Structure formats: structure tokens, C-alpha cells
A and B are shown apart, each in its own frame.
Chain A
Amino acid sequence: MSYIHFPVIAVMTLFMGAFLTVVLGRHSKGVRSFIALAASCVSFALIAMLVKPVMIDGEIISYWMGNWAPMSGYAIGIGYEVDQLGLFFALLVVTTILLSAVYSIRYIEKDSSQDFYYVLFLMLSGSVLGLVMTGDVFNMFIMIEIMTFTAVGLTAFRNTSFGAVEAGFKYLVIGSIGSSFTLFGIAVLYGQCHTLNMAQLSAMLYGNHSPATLMAFALMFTGLAVKSYIVPFHTPAADAYTTAPSSISMVFSGMVNKAGVYGMIRLVYIIFRTVDMPSVQTLIVLFGTVTMFIGVTMALAQHDFKRLLAFHSISQIGYVITAAGLCTSLGLSAGLFHAMNHTLFKGLLFLCAGAVLRSTGTTNLDQLGGLSKRMPKTTLCFLVGAFSISGLPPFNGFASKWLVYQAAYEKAVTTGNIFYAFVTVTAVVVSVMTLASFIKVTQAAFFGQLPARLADVEEAPGLMLLPMYIMSLLCVGTGIFYDKVYQYLLDPAVRAAFTVSNYIDRMMGDGYAEAAGVEDVFASNPHFSYWNPVIWLALFVIVFCAAYICVVTSKGSRGQILSDEGGAEDGKYATFFSGEKALPSHVAGSDLFWGFKTDWKGYFRVMEGLHSGIVNDYALYVVAAAAFVVVFTFAFLR
């Protein structure tokens, strides 16, 4: 069987899974889980098999639905085109789906109406997978619509809580506005170019912008930005990620907002190729920088585990957008790498939050504490995730953030634009604040004192731990062997984004691009020479072992290590309370970072006012931002 059918089969498997769940899985839990697992395994396997031909051999798969190939230079049928960029995101999607499906088996076992869960889950998965592989703008819109509405359903899945329904409503309103912008943009585009095929659009629009296409660009840009939840469109994301089941929060942050990011990259790099313009770069980087800063500062103020993670998702997407908006090969690699890492570590963190929620029944950081004694494996996974997202070496977050800084500063020094220098500074500061808010979670939920209420909490079951372990390993692995990741995943994807003519030619036939006057931009190889995590890690392990043996384990001249196994409440092993009898006293999340919060009081007050929770306000932000993008486009794009 030829692999060119694989993308379509992968998408269809997921949709068929949804259908079969309705037909066969209504009454049997086993069948439901099996269908979901089987469908995600099959699509994972199919996409994974594409790595060799696409990523390594550099082939681009094009596939015309019903064999409706282009006629006399016009693409009429729906085309699927899987280039390296699309496959890169498709890999993220299928990995997320598979792990989430495994996690869901135990995670939602106590919920009612699980058949709806799996139906929506599989449809969501199928739509996102379709979105990143399609070559047709309108098909992309359809997928976005399916994605939005299934996401709304999943957000409100646990509809016993008021918040879930409210979040679903907000998601619905903002998502619909975003979809409408996209649709409007597509309509304008179709009216102008009489085609919906991306490759053909790209060829027609290359260096050939009219006011109508600029309008279309602005609207589509806004619509996709809404889907990637960058500020100021982030408002429904915070609620949705918080109230959705954690397996779904992971899917949301792992692939749903990546779909938006993918759409934006496709839009500015391939379809319109506007990213070469400094003004577009400024626009995207501005959006990205504001997003990462507001996301992280809002996260610092949260005291709900999942809500905090939600705001971090927003902040990390800011990094991705910023890096991708730099329009350098280093920048795009950094952005894609960070997108991938974000899928891994944020998925891991959401799964940890889910494990905590399942075991303790709450994600409120003020009510948790000391879980590391009861849930050591979850704690370990959480620490890996937290260090990854905070960018501590040698985890993957460090590698990608390091590339982001390098890219941003390279842009700054080569263009001489001090704006990008301050973008770099902001990125570093945001990274430190990310660390701060994860220290907050670490202290509030996993370390500190165990409240009596949580004294007999149980560790998450093995089936939930398995995806967490896999993701932890991936976080460490991609951090250490980042050069391999670059070589096999990032570099082909970046090259695909910069060589537009390949994309067009493969879809529309050889020579089409040349005829339309499309020129490829030379993408230089990024250089990273100074940081070799393998050497570093080897060193670290050697010195760590030596020091650990000397300090902790050796007997002899040193004083003994005494630890209390019996668990006496008082005496030598009690916590020091200035002489008082040790009381259950836990420094919870909202008690931390007092000095910082005091100094930023005014800022937080403004932010609190802006995040009013009223959906009318949020809709207004979307429309206002759309207006800004339109005005910006007409004022500066040339």
C-alpha cells in the first residue's frame, strides 16, 4: 500500500472511531476504550510511518480527494498536502491523542456519559489532524469548526459544575467569532482568486497583494490568532483548560492551540508569504511578546493548579509566536521546537494536575500540600515538567528557550532594531517568572506539609502514570538530544516553510511556481555550538555521584543521617516552630511572592479589571483586536 493514502486514512480512522463509538460503544466501557485506543494507535502508526519518506527523504505528499486533480491550472477538488511542516504538527497531534487516550481510560472512569466523551474526543482529534494536513483553505475552515464545537462540548463535559458550562459558553462565543473572521477572510480570498487551494493561492498571491487580499489576510490572521489563544483572545482558554477534564486540557494545550499556531505559520509563511515584511514581523512579535508577558503574570496571580497551567499555555504560545514571527530560520526552528516542547511538558503538567485532581478531588493550591509523600511518582513527573517549562538545563524547555533568545537577539543585532533586544529581555524575564510560578505549585501542592485531610491520598493508577512517564522521558530526551531533533524534525520543517515553490510545485505540477514568479528565500543553517548537553550531563552525573557519595551516603567521619521512620509528632524530628509544638501550617500558593505582588499591585488591579469574566467584554477585545490588525495591515503592509 502506498503511503500517500496514509494521511487521509489516519484522519478517517479517527472520524470512523467516533462513529463506531456511537454505534457499538454505548453500553460497554471496554468497547469504548478499545475503539478510542485502537483508532489513536492506528493514526499514530500511520503518521509515524510517514516520517521516513517525508522528513528524511524530503518528499511532499499530495493527495486529491476523489482524484479531482487540477484542471487547466485551477485546483477544484479538495487536496491534502503533507509537507514537513504539516507532518511535524501531525506528529505532535497523534502523540497527544495516543497518550491522552491511554490516560483517559482510568481518568474518566467515574464520569457519566463516557460515550459522548469518546465521540467528541475522537472527532476533535480527527479534526485537528485533518487541519494540519489539509491543502485546502475551506477544508481547513471546516476542520476548525469541528474542532471548535467538539472542544466546546468537551469543555462543558463535566457539566455538573457551573464553571464548566460557563467556560463552554465563553468558548462558544469567542470561538464562533474567530471562525467567522476566518470564514469571512476565506470568502474574500475566494472572491479575489477563485480558488481555495493553498498552493495555488500562494502562487497567485506571491508579491501580488491587493487591498482585498490584505483585508483577507487581516481577517484570517485574526481568526487563526483566536484559535491559538494569544492575548487578547486568550480569555476563553483560561476557563476552558481549567474546567475541562485534564486529559482534554492536555489535548487543548497540546494540539488545539497548536492548530491555531500551525494555521498562523501556514498563513504568513506559505499562503500569503507576508512574513518577509518587517511590519508583519513586528506585528507578530508584538503579539507574541505581549502574550508571553501577560500570560505569565496572570499565571503568577492564580491559585488554581489547572488555571495556572492554562495561563502558562498562553504564555508559552507567546514564545512560539514570537520566535516564528522573527522570520529567520533560527527563529522558526526555535518556535517549532518550543511548540513541540510545549506539547510535551504542558501535556505532562496537565496530566499531573489530573492525577492530583483525581486523588484529592481539588486543584485549589490553597487546599493542597505535601503530596510528595503520598504521590512520589506524580511528583517526580511534575518536577520534570516544571523544570522543563521553566527552562532549566538540561530539559527540553531550556534548549528551545535558548534558541528563542538566540533567534531574537540575532534578529536584534542583524537588523539593529533595539525592539528585538527588549523582546529578548522580556523572554528571559518571562522565563524566570515561569520558574517562579512553578516553584509556587511545587511548594503549594507537592512539598510543604501534608494536611490531615489528605493523609490517605493514593497514588495515581499505573495506566495514568504510563503516559506521564513517557512524556517525562520525552522531555528529558528531546532536551539532551536536541541536535538530533533539529536534524530530523525541525530542519526539514523549517526548510519546508521557507521553500514555498516546492510546496506549490508538488501540488500544482512542476514549473507552476516558477511561472507565477515565486522565489524561495535562502534559509541559512542555524548554528549552535556552545551548548553540548551530552557532555554537560555526563559531567553532571559524574560530579553528582561523587558528591552524593561523599556527602550523603558515606559513613565514617561524618555525622550520621537520622531520619524519622516512626512519624513522631514531637521531638527531634519535628519541624522547627520557634519552640512551639509543630502545627499543621502550610505556606500555600497565595502566600508566596509577597514582595513581587506588592510592587505590581497596580498592574494586577488593571489585569483583574480586564479579566472581568463577562463574555461581552471578551468579545469586544476580539473585535477591537481584529480592528487593530486590519488598521495595522492597511497602514503598514507594503
Chain B
Amino acid sequence: MILPFLREASKNLFSKPSTEAFPAAPAPAKPNYRGRISYDPEKCVNCGMCKKVCSPAAITTEIEEVEGGQKITYHFDLTSCTFCGTCQDFCDEKAIVLTDDYLMVAENKEDLIVSGSRIKPVVKGKLTCDTANCIYCGLCARNCPEEAITVDRATKSWTVDHDKCIQCGKCISKCPKKVLSFAEPAPEGVIFGEGCVYCGICAKKCPVSAITVDRATKSWTIDRDTCIKCGQCVKNCPKKALSMGPIEE
């Protein structure tokens, strides 16, 4: 046929148009759509991984000293975001979620910045290093989201910028010789209390997998060195058997 679309056109003329009714009717996004970022500051442990993995540097933080701790604000600039979802993937705490809200339209650029802040109480001491056992591998420095640690292998020096340090504990968890610690005050940690049913939720929720639960032998162990004292296990314990407090070595 010379005019291949003649039939198509005449058929369409008498059939319903395939146009979607949007904006009259809502048009939900497809599953796994990565849209507007939602940030839950309550879940955030301020580890800063999101900031580190963000390729267009869309995530910025703002730290403000307030009474009783630090006010840490995270800004997610949607006008800069590529919606790759890496921050979501890297957020152990699931504080960052890319929702299916795609209607990111604004007259003001400020309307397209998602922010959230929490006040983080100062609970830890300053970061110290047991230089006697340190091998100056530099893993701590490499993992520090704020680049507060400087390690020089040649001169065997280990320094920390306490102003930059956000006390996330990444360095401690990464240290192979376990020589890093928040020196003072007395270390705080998860206390195993009464009523445990060994369900294992705490182990699953633990972002650093410090908790091991064996139901068969009814054993609950925690690797204090790994634990970042984030409190996820305490929050999620169905029996309220866990609590935070000072621990004895």
C-alpha cells in the first residue's frame, strides 16, 4: 500500500485516544522510580557516606554548635542531584529514600532543596590513638567522611582535627589493629539486659554487624570494637532488653 498509515489513522479516529489524563488524574510513577529524596534525620547517624558517594556533590552538611550537642543539618539539593540512588544504597540507616514523587517543579530554587537536621548530643570523648600499637596504615584517614584524620607513614605521625571530626566512629571500625577509641569519658555501649528472646533483630539492624546472636546456644555477643553505638539495636529490640549505658571493660 502506498500510504501505509491510512488504515492506522482511520482506526484511531474512531478509537479512544491513548493520552493519559494527567494532570486531571494522578499518574503514579512506576515501581523503583527514583524521585524526590526524603531524608529522615532521626534515622541518620551522620556517618556522611552519602555525601562521600554523591557524584554531583549535591549533598552538603552544616554543623552548628548548640547547647547540648551539635545541630547537624543535611541539605539535599535536588537541582543538582542526578537521582542515581547511590546515597540511598550506601545509607546503612535507611535515612535517605528516593521516593516516587517526580513533580519537582518550583519557581524558587530553594523549594527544591530537601533538608533535615538533628541535634546530636555530645556523648563521646575525643578520638585518640594508641600510637604504640598503630601501624600507620592510613585506613582510618581514608574512611573518614570529613577527612579529619591525617596519617603520615614516613614520619609515623597520626593527627586528628577535632573540629572536623563528627565522631561517627567509622575510623574505629575500620582500624585493623583496634587502636582507635574515643578516650573519654568512660566508653558507652550497648548493655545486654533482661528479657532477651534471642530473636536476632538487633543483629539484623546493626549497621556494622557487631552483634551476633545464636538462638540455639542462646548466646548474645557484641563486638564492642565494631559497635558504633548508634543505638539501632536498642531502638528495634522488641523486648526492650537492650539499653545504652556505660559499660565495664
Question: A–B direct touch, CB within 8 Å, in complex?
Answer: no
